Amino acid sequence: MDIFKREQAPIASVAWNEIDNRARQVLMGHLTARRILHVRGPLGWNYAALPEGRLSILQESPVAGVRCGVYQVQPLVETRVSFKLDRWELDNILRGARAIDLSPLDEAAKNAALFEEQAVYNGFAAGGVVGLTAAATQKAISFGKEGSEIMLNLSRALVQMQEVHQRGPFSLILGKELWERANTEVQGYPLMKRIKDMVGGTVVYSSVLEGGLMIPHRHEDLELVIGGDFSIGYEHHDSRIVQLFIAESFTLQVVDPSIILPLRA
């Protein structure tokens, strides 16, 4: 038995498949950082901390003449979101029903994904995660208001990235306002297509980000480290409902903050 205890749940295998597939669909609709960052893992649920390759030297020692230090590590954050499903509705899957109400699962998966998004982009101080926005050391560049200005400013951003020895491809993460500006037309040609051709990487929309970011695509110095990837487990049940949970563990390591370029709205 593992921490997910799925074998104890009163859920048929075909219903588990439906639950897992729906969760995967919802998660992929909200997870954007995994599309543009270098991802390491999953490394397992027993992977608790990321070694930083450094020692904190201690000034005290129990034995004279013996020096010592403590390894510096970055702990992973484990998240868990509980939700309840109707047992009768799950049984309807075995009866051949196709329109199954899994809305509590949808909400739980969405919230779990948004936690990761918030931590990666905006940070989570209590969990030791410095987000990309706070980590950035480059001076922000204005995204621009309309087509020609946007393309000019992005070309300036590319020059600024070359000054920190990055030559692409690059990815853009855009908040709501910048995403809407990018999805217009210039002289009948989609502006988004021009932007993608210029940066060479991926352009994604994030609902949790204000403004935007330009980063090298899947650069190893910006790494999302996953211990246990999103998985669904069992908590308890009664005659009417079964309570499940969705969990993951992760952290973000920013090795070189100079390769993160903020974009102002």
DSSP sequence for the chain:
--TT-GGGSS--HHHHHHHHHHHHHHHHHH--HHHHSEEE----TT--EEEEEEEEEES--SSTT--EEEEEEEEPEEEEEEEEEEHHHHHHHHTT--S---HHHHHHHHHHHHHHHHHHHH-BGGGTB--HHHH--SPPEE--SSHHHHHHHHHHHHHHHHTTT----EEEEE-HHHHHHHSSEETTEEHHHHHHHHHEEEEEE-TT-SSEEEEETT-TTEEEEESSPSEEEEEEE-SSEEEEEEEEEEEEEES-GGG-EEEE-
- Set out the domains of the chain in order of their start, with CATH numbers: 6-130+222-253 (3.30.2400.30), 133-220 (3.30.2320.10)
Rounded Cα distance, 135 and 129, in Å: 10
Residue the block writes with tokens 């950082």: 33
pLDDT-derived band at 138, boundaries 50, 70, 90: very high
CA atoms within 13 A on the CB side of 249: 16
Which residues, 6 or more positions from 204, have their beta carbon under 8 angstroms from its beta carbon?
32, 35, 36, 171, 172, 173, 174
Can you tell me the mean pLDDT for 101-116?
A: 98
Output the six-digit token pair for 65.
């003449």
Average pLDDT, rounded, for the chain: 96
**pLDDT for 19 beyond 80:** yes
- Letter string b/e over residues 73-95, b meaning 16 or more CB atoms within 10 A of that residue's CB: ebebbebebebbbebeebebbee
Rounded Cα distance, 223 and 215, in Å: 12
User: For the chain, what is the largest distance between any 2 Cα atoms, rounded to a whole number of angstroms?
Assistant: 77
Q: What is the pLDDT of residue 167?
A: 87
Rounded Cα distance, 44 and 49, in Å: 11
Can you tell me the mean pLDDT for 35-62?
A: 96
127-136 pLDDT per residue, tens: 999 999 999 9
Reported pTM: 0.93
pLDDT-derived band at 189, boundaries 50, 70, 90: confident
Q: What is the pLDDT of residue 234?
A: 98
